[in-house]
Amino acid sequence: QSVLTQPPSVSGAPGQRVTISCTGSSSNIGAGSHVHWYQQIPGTAPKLLIYDNINRPSGVPDRFSGSKSGTSASLAITGLQAEDEADYYCQSYDSSLSGVFGTGTKVTVL
Amino acid sequence: EVQLVQSGAEVKKPGESLKISCKGSGHRLTSYWIGWVRQMPGKGLEWMGIIFLGDSDTRYSPSFRGQVTISADKSISTAYLQWSSLKASDTAMYYCAAGLEFEFDYWGQGTLVTVSS
């Protein structure tokens, strides 16, 4: 059972900016644990988008950005493109170093 | 660069045992944590546990502790996920993934496990 809550869905027109929130607690994000973000296109393995709250792996477009504040984190996608339609998951750790994924958010490009 | 190749799809009956594998290739693999992630049909990702390939230090999610066993053989750069008695509710896609810290930089292709009588 996930303890990181995300909105089930967000949508936007091509070129728009969308944000996905990831709400945790004082035992995970609020305790200083890093947040990572993954993109999963249906039928494929997830792909790391953002690590350690704000960093992009090589090859990830700078349209994707992450932030963290208090017990929450956010993923922003600017200049939304059709290829961004996918499921997005945040991930962090609790005080016992057990990992946890968020509930997942489906991004739809209108 | 790290590549992870998982064992093939499995079809099992309830009560049977199963061990699936995840073989890594690339340099410095003994410096990586390898984790297992469950995705039930139509559902989200679930963090099951993680093992450090260098010394087999293992952490489990409370939801999966006692339900599965994670192990590794660093001599062949392979991690394993094992069940002693499968249930129908274990039907899912299982991914292995690796990272130097606790993020998952690299992912396997997934192993589909189907448990049905």
Q: Using the beta-carbon criterion (under 8 Å), do B45 and A101 form an inter-chain contact?
A: yes
What's the Cα-to-Cα distance from A91 to each of A28, A31, A80, B74, B85, rounded to whole Å?
10, 14, 22, 26, 29
Taking the C-alpha atoms of residue B88 and residue B96, their distance in angstroms, rounded to an integer, is 21
Chain centroid to Cα A25, Å, comes to 16
The model's confidence at residue A56, banded by pLDDT at 50, 70 and 90, is very high
Count CB-CB contacts under 10 A for residue B114: 14
Across A24-28, A49-53, B81-85, least confident range: A24-28
Taking the C-alpha atoms of residue A100 and residue B58, their distance in angstroms, rounded to an integer, is 15
Q: Using the beta-carbon criterion (under 8 Å), do A45 and B95 form an inter-chain contact?
A: yes
Does residue A17 register a pLDDT over 80? yes
Q: B92: distance to nearest CA of chain A, Å?
A: 13
Q: Using the beta-carbon criterion (under 8 Å), do B101 and A34 form an inter-chain contact?
A: yes
The model's confidence at residue A70, banded by pLDDT at 50, 70 and 90, is very high
Q: Using the beta-carbon criterion (under 8 Å), do B44 and A87 form an inter-chain contact?
A: yes
Q: Does residue B51 belong to the interface with chain A, where contact is any CB pair within 8 Å?
A: no
Instruction: Spell out where A1-110 has E strands.
Output: 9-12, 18-23, 36-40, 47-50, 64-69, 72-77, 86-93, 99-101, 105-109
Comparing alpha-carbon positions, the chain B residue that sits nearest to A100 is: B47
Residue-wise pLDDT tens digits, B31-72: 999 999 999 999 999 999 999 998 999 999 999 999 999 999
Q: What is the pLDDT of residue B103?
A: 92
Q: What are phi and psi of B30, to 5 degrees?
A: -70, -5
Q: Using the beta-carbon criterion (under 8 Å), do B103 and A98 form an inter-chain contact?
A: no
Minimal Cβ distance to B109: which of A36, A45, A93: A45
Residue-wise pLDDT tens digits, A19-38: 999 999 999 999 999 999 99
CB pairs under 8 A between A and B: 67
What's the Cα-to-Cα distance from B88 to each of A73, B29, B106, B114, rounded to whole Å?
35, 34, 29, 8
Which of B47, B52, B96, B101 is the best substitution to test chain A (most A C-beta atoms within 10 A)? Answer: B47
Chain A residues lying within 8 Å of B37, measured CB to CB: 46, 101
Does residue A3 register a pLDDT over 90? no
What is the residue whose two structure tokens read 């950005």? A65
Q: A13: distance to nearest CA of chain B, Å?
A: 25
Q: Does residue B64 belong to the interface with chain A, where contact is any CB pair within 8 Å?
A: no
Taking the C-alpha atoms of residue A99 and residue A78, their distance in angstroms, rounded to an integer, is 28
